[in-house]
Amino acid sequence: MTNPALDEDRLRTEARAILRENDLGGYTIPTKGLYPFQWNWDSCLVALGLAHVDEDRALTEIETLVAHQWPDGMVPHIVFHADHETYFPGPDVWGTARATPTSGITQPPVLGYALRRLLDGARDGAMVAPRVAALLPKVAAWHRWFANARDPEATGLVAILHPWESGRDNAIDWDDALARVPTDGIGSYVRRDTTHVDAAQRPTKEEYDRYLWLVQRFRRLGWNQAALHDASPFRVVDPGFNAILTRSAEDLAAMARALDAPEIAAEAESQAARGRAALDGLWHDGLGQYAAYDRAAGALVESASIGGLLPLMALEPGHPRVDALVARLAGLRAAVSHPVPSHDPADPRFDRLRYWRGPLWLIANRLVADGLARHGRAEAAAEIARDGLALVARSGFGEYFDPLDGRALGGKRFSWTAAMVLDFLEMA
């Protein structure tokens, strides 16, 4: 940046403009065309950025999402507030029979994490605290749903049943498990994503076939969440997802203690403790980081992705694995021009352009930076924030970025990238 102050003003103004133009009234779409509905973790992370601009609107973002929580506690990954032809698969494919249609799967539970950031940073505590307090039982119900529906054997770790649940749709972590998902009987369909974004930057047709087979399988089971876990050929334990859930449970407990909800606090504290202890079962000595566990196959997955670094945000300070994760991050930093690649570039399967198989994502960087700061690595966290800002100043508000040359990839004028810029401006 030649004139950092000027660039910061320009970035702030542009980030706010993007959040305004993607605001459809009570919820923010990720970007026009490619993603015209409300996505679960997008909204929670967008709220982190909105909080710097308008705390009332940030809370509304989350309240709108949670208003579509299922009776069993699940918060769905997409809420289809209005009809749009530009996205596939739409509500008719999901067939979840909700008054406002939703998908039938979930997404990384950053809700508790985001709410605590809103509460702790509140400028208008008298307005924020009661609204957060009203949301706590709903967060607790979602976390309870995870324990029941996605960890039926009480291992302390939850499985995802669809790659879309991970938020890292086509990560190399899922390749082997996804290869076992059949493709028979899915019928013909027309993808819309590749009309908005270069197909080289998106998941492949083979992956989409399997994504759809899983949706159809779950739909035939009537979206009975209690039955899906054992009926799914795809059951994978993602260290990133579990770290997010564990951290959200810790944050829920802290909010509940502060807001005088001791029963919620006690339940969340025990869920966080169980999750933290169980994470150690995902440590992969050969990779020097955490790895996914293929529950259907009963084996750790040979794949060094950013998912295996996210436990930094959940481990207790001083935990013996922290130094190894920090060293892994330093190694990845040395291998790319822009941190943090979503997959290790030394792996021949790394793909600098293709979605979650290599590109860097500012939202993942935000969670990694949080983990670094939690363990006293404030300078490393600030470097991630500064690089993110410089990247957006140069390449624009892309959905994700090539970690080697910094070009913007995927959707444009992306809400969560704008939100992370507003957040990084406060951190850097």
Residues tagged active-site? 169, 399
Site pattern 121..140 for ligand DGY (x: CB under 6 A): --------------------
Cis peptide before 359 (omega within 30 of 0): no
Nearer to ligand DGY, 168 or 247 (CB): 168
First to last CA, the chain: 13
Q: Is 267 in the site for ligand DGY (CB under 6 A)?
A: no
In whole angstroms, the minimum distance from the beta carbon of 76 to ligand DGY comes to: 11
406 in the Ramachandran plot: left (φ > 0), alpha (ψ -120 to 50) or beta?
left
Residue from 164, 208, 283, 414 in contact with ligand DGY (CB under 6 A): 164
What is the total count of residues that contact ligand DGY (CB under 6 A)? 4
- Give the amino acid at 139: V
Residues 52-81 that bind ligand DGY (CB under 6 A): 77
In whole angstroms, the minimum distance from the beta carbon of 169 to ligand DGY comes to: 5
Site pattern 13..52 for ligand DGY (x: CB under 6 A): ----------------------------------------
Residues 185-224 that bind ligand DGY (CB under 6 A): 193
Taking the C-alpha atoms of residue 55 and residue 48, their distance in angstroms, rounded to an integer, is 9
Taking the C-alpha atoms of residue 190 and residue 406, their distance in angstroms, rounded to an integer, is 31
Report the SS3 class of residue 379: helix
Nearer to ligand DGY, 196 or 321 (CB): 196
The structure tokens listed for 71 are: 């009776």
Nearer to ligand DGY, 274 or 357 (CB): 357
In whole angstroms, the minimum distance from the beta carbon of 21 to ligand DGY comes to: 21
Nearer to ligand DGY, 193 or 370 (CB): 193
**How far is the CA of 233 from the CAs of 160, 169, 174, in angstroms?**
11, 16, 12
Task: Find out whether 132 and 117 touch, Cβ atoms under 8 Å.
Answer: no
Taking the C-alpha atoms of residue 361 and residue 45, their distance in angstroms, rounded to an integer, is 13
**How far is the CA of 212 from the CAs of 15, 164, 173, 182, 296, in angstroms?**
34, 11, 19, 10, 19
Helix (H) or strand (E) segment spanning residue 38: strand 38-39
Residue from 169, 250, 399, 402 in contact with ligand DGY (CB under 6 A): 169
In whole angstroms, the minimum distance from the beta carbon of 412 to ligand DGY comes to: 15
The residue number whose beta carbon is nearest to ligand DGY equals: 164
Cis peptide before 340 (omega within 30 of 0): yes
Q: Is 400 in the site for ligand DGY (CB under 6 A)?
A: no
Taking the C-alpha atoms of residue 428 and residue 318, their distance in angstroms, rounded to an integer, is 24
In whole angstroms, the minimum distance from the beta carbon of 193 to ligand DGY comes to: 6
Taking the C-alpha atoms of residue 132 and residue 392, their distance in angstroms, rounded to an integer, is 32
In whole angstroms, the minimum distance from the beta carbon of 77 to ligand DGY comes to: 6
Nearer to ligand DGY, 169 or 423 (CB): 169
In whole angstroms, the minimum distance from the beta carbon of 89 to ligand DGY comes to: 8
Nearer to ligand DGY, 193 or 267 (CB): 193
Kindly report the backbone phi and psi dihedral angles of residue 84, in degrees, each rounded to the nearest multiple of 5, phi listed first.
-150, 135
Report the SS3 class of residue 409: strand
The structure tokens listed for 264 are: 């919620």
- Give the amino acid at 70: W
Q: Is 94 in the site for ligand DGY (CB under 6 A)?
A: no
Nearer to ligand DGY, 205 or 394 (CB): 205
**How far is the CA of 417 from the CAs of 20, 167, 315, 379, in angstroms?**
13, 15, 26, 22
Nearer to ligand DGY, 193 or 423 (CB): 193
Q: What order do you get walking across the sheet with 299-300 strand by strand?
A: 236-237, 293-294, 299-300
Helix (H) or strand (E) segment spanning residue 240: helix 239-258
In whole angstroms, the minimum distance from the beta carbon of 177 to ligand DGY comes to: 17
Residue ranges that bind ligand DGY, judged by CB under 6 A: 77, 164, 169, 193
